[in-house]
Structure 1
Amino acid sequence: MINTLVPLGVQRTNGVELTFASEVAPTWQIWAGYAFLDGEMTTSPATDAASLCRASGPR
């Protein structure tokens, strides 16, 4: 499979990213993180974007 770059237009992404870090003891550190991103294509020069780039994976 060959990776191909397809110019699809302009996208907008809204979301949130949370990180947490703590030192529970002098030799113990805890780090955690979570990110939620909601992307949307706002404009596209393609007449049929689905035929150019098909998403793979569960929806």
Structure 2
Amino acid sequence: MPHLPAVDAPSRLSSYRSRHPRAAKALGRTLNIPELVGNAPIPSDIGTRLALARIDVGQATIH
């Protein structure tokens, strides 16, 4: 599973939080990621504290 560059993390998380506010809050509470729960700007250093990976569930096969 490829990790995304740390520099991309703030914009990706901000976009996710904007597009899916309820899911982002639930995920933030579950995984203890307060940046997803609140409405404050995503810190620029979040990519150094939180690794993001791209998952393509459209291509996943479960056996």
> Could you say which TM-score interval applies, normalised by the shorter chain?
under 0.3
Larger radius of gyration: 1
Q: TM-score, normalised by structure 2?
A: 0.21
Relative to its length, the structure with more strand (as a share) is: 1
Q: TM-score, normalised by structure 1?
A: 0.22
Relative to its length, the structure with more helix (as a share) is: 2
